[in-house]
Amino acid sequence: MARTKSRQALVKEIEAAQAKLKAHDKAEAERLGTLAMKCGIGGIDISDEELTREFQAIVTRFREGASKVEEPAPEGSRSAGKAPEAVDDEAA
């Protein structure tokens, strides 16, 4: 069986993939940091440990409950819920 790629070629591919992943992670960190600052997170007094717990809670909420997360109803809309039962005036 003939080899298709040398070890050196595979190492170069791995290094390129690692560099691409590092660049992706850096861009994602910058994006999340920008969003956090827009929301005012830089102005609150919170420890790194507490902030990490809150971020983990957000991740858990969206991973486990992604199908459960409902869009908020537009203001002023009515739900098509159960109609109130009729009152029998003659029985009173």
The predicted structure's pLDDT at residue 62: 94
Ramachandran category for residue 84: left, alpha or beta (phi over 0 → left; psi -120 to 50 → alpha): beta
Residue-level pLDDT at 1: 61
The predicted pLDDT at position 88 comes to: 56
Measured CA to CA, the distance from residue 19 to residue 26 in angstroms comes to 11
Helix (H) or strand (E) holding 49: helix 48-64
* Domain-wise residue ranges, the chain: 8-63
10-residue mean pLDDT series, the chain (92 residues): 86 98 98 95 94 95 74 59 55 50
pLDDT of residue 76: 59
